[in-house]
Amino acid sequence: MKFYSTRGGASAANASEAIVKGIAEDGGLFVPERYPDLSLSLEEMLDMDYAERAAFVLSKFLEEYDYEELLRACEEAYSRFDEDAAPVLKLDENLYILELFHGPTLAFKDIALTLLPYLLRAGCDNAGIKDDVLILTATSGDTGKAALEGFKNKKGVKIMVFYPDEGVAEMQRLQMTTTEGDNVSVVAVEGNFDDCQTAVKKIFTDEAFKKELKENGVIFSSANSMNFGRLAPQIAYYFSAYCDLVGAEEIKMGQKVDFVVPTGNFGDILAGYYAKKMGLPVGKLICASNKNNVLTDFFETGVYDVNREFFKTMSPSMDILVSSNLERLIFDVENRDPEKTKAMMKSLSEKGRYEIDRARVAHLSETFYANFCAEEACAETIGNFFEEYEYVLDPHTAVAMSVYDGYACENGADRPAVILSTASPYKFPSDVYEAISGKYESDPFVAAEKLEKESAVPVPEQIAALKSKPVRFMKKAKKDELKEIVREFALK
């Protein structure tokens, strides 16, 4: 299968080349030439375990990868999870929760980032690339630690993670800055996530800098969902959740299911869109935003405008205004026209906005519903949900649940709905404990202990162990200093 840039300036690449490069030379994102049809394969997938389902879905895109090696890589990756990689729990009639936080770093990013090191190394081998790979990753919280954990101590790879200073939760910061490994680096960047992401994209498209590093045997790649190798494994859990519901006789094969997705960079929900294009019986994809509601406005009006106030919220992984993966959806809705997509992305870069016509908005509304959740509603949802179900939501999942409640009130809840739960509540213990108990505890470790007593849900070992781990990375930088920092790390 060939992959093309959303902006049309890069030649076609196979999956290996797309994954190794991360993003296209022209700054666009790689997209597959077509969507494999798996509608007739759902019955076959019912008897598979999660690793088998993931390998099966991925193999339809990664055609040059050896299937048996891909399956073994999936089995190895998901053996690192506490239990089933993506279990589905029934909460109520027609309401389910897909838990995606059972991996090494307690966030949904683990689903892809435990597997990406294999995809990248095999991609290099398939493409005949012998250079060392330097992975640059901007993170709004969870991607950073998941990427560091996936790539630490891997031969032939170095990884640098950039996060917004004071823009992530304390547990997220500690997870990143205490990471072990001799091939990792973590840098706090002044500004917000969009500043980090923009600076990293600028480095990726700096041809002179890339040439300099290439001459020293180093090439760039990415672990963000801009990289198709990060996005593709996420498609699998939509198929797996559906098969689990059929297998449990909660739904009938072919019955449509809604998926409710908390999202900031639009990668998680785009994976659901790809699953639908591949034949999964998806009803609505419900796009849940926090107070940074640029996506809500886009789906309502067709105008994407980042010229607005940026808010820091209790769901920091969604504190994003420039949703990179929306570019892939724009490419699709504009009939896969790279010139139109390129013009819109240029407008976004120069003016901070772009617009699609009303016909396109109407077309998107057939698949997507979008709304947002204010901070007060997020906290109330965590408290009310615990009171009703004795289940502890993290703030991101609470955003999704709040938005779904509004959707169900407007449209009814007749269709089964799956809420994607994207992180452990113990990554945000102070806010979650306050939402449940009405009491605030600023020390995150004390808050975690109190949350355990309040909820009877044990503190995960990954969180408890952070208290005694030394902080290794304390560097802070301005965004225009990142290039020199990257050069120093790459060439040492």
Residues acting as catalytic residues: 109
Q: Are 159 and 138 in contact (CB under 8 A)?
A: no
Identify the H or E element spanning 78.
helix 67-78
Q: Are 29 and 226 in contact (CB under 8 A)?
A: yes
For residue 475, the tally of other CB atoms under 10 A from its CB is: 12
- 459: helix, coil or strand? coil
d(CA 116, CA 229): 6
- 40: helix, coil or strand? coil
Cross-strand partners of 98: 88, 420
DSSP 465: G
CA distances from 266 to 269, 312, 323, 353 (A): 6, 18, 6, 17
DSSP 394: P
Region of 278 please: left (phi>0), alpha (psi -120 to 50) or beta: alpha
Identify the H or E element spanning 417.
strand 417-421
Handedness of CA 102, 106, 107, 110 (dihedral sign): negative
- 286: helix, coil or strand? strand
Q: For the sheet with 95-99, list strands across it.
A: 88-92, 95-99, 417-421, 257-262, 282-289, 368-372
Cross-strand partners of 187: 162
Q: Are 244 and 53 in contact (CB under 8 A)?
A: no
d(CA 52, CA 83): 15
d(CA 164, CA 195): 8
d(CA 99, CA 200): 30
